[in-house]
């Protein structure tokens, strides 16, 4: 049992608030940042397929944030495997 019940609320706020901020920032980054080529605007507007229930398929440019996330994951995985091998850490 905690002496201060407010501490539980503070922990919840410290967990939830940064998560919500991260979700909003990631959504904005995915929605508004992508490589712009000569035909990027045309690709965003052109509908390739029209599925039932009004779902449309477009050939939109790939977001920069996802590219950086994928590259970061691959670099981290490479160095993780390398350092586990070099330091001989048993998992």
What percentage of the chain carries pLDDT values higher than 90?
Answer: 18
What is the value of pTM for the model shown?
Answer: 0.53
- What pLDDT, on the 0 to 100 scale, is given for residue 16? 92
- Sort strands 56-58 and 47-50 into parallel, antiparallel or unpaired: antiparallel
Distance of CA 41 to the CA centre of its chain: 23
Q: What is the pLDDT of residues 41-76, one digit of tens each?
A: 777 777 888 888 888 887 777 788 888 889 999 999
Answer for the pair 33, 65: CB distance below 8 angstroms, yes or no. yes
């Amino acid at each position: 049992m905690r002496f201060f019940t407010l501490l539980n609320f503070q922990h919840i706020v410290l967990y939830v608030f940064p998560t919500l901020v991260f979700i909003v920032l990631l959504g904005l980054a995915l929605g508004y940042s992508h490589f712009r080529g000569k035909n990027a605007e045309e690709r965003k507007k052109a509908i390739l397929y029209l599925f039932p229930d009004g779902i449309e398929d477009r050939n939109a440019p790939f977001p920069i944030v996802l590219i950086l996330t994928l590259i970061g994951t691959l670099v981290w995985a490479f160095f993780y495997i390398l350092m586990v091998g070099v330091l001989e850490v048993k998992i």
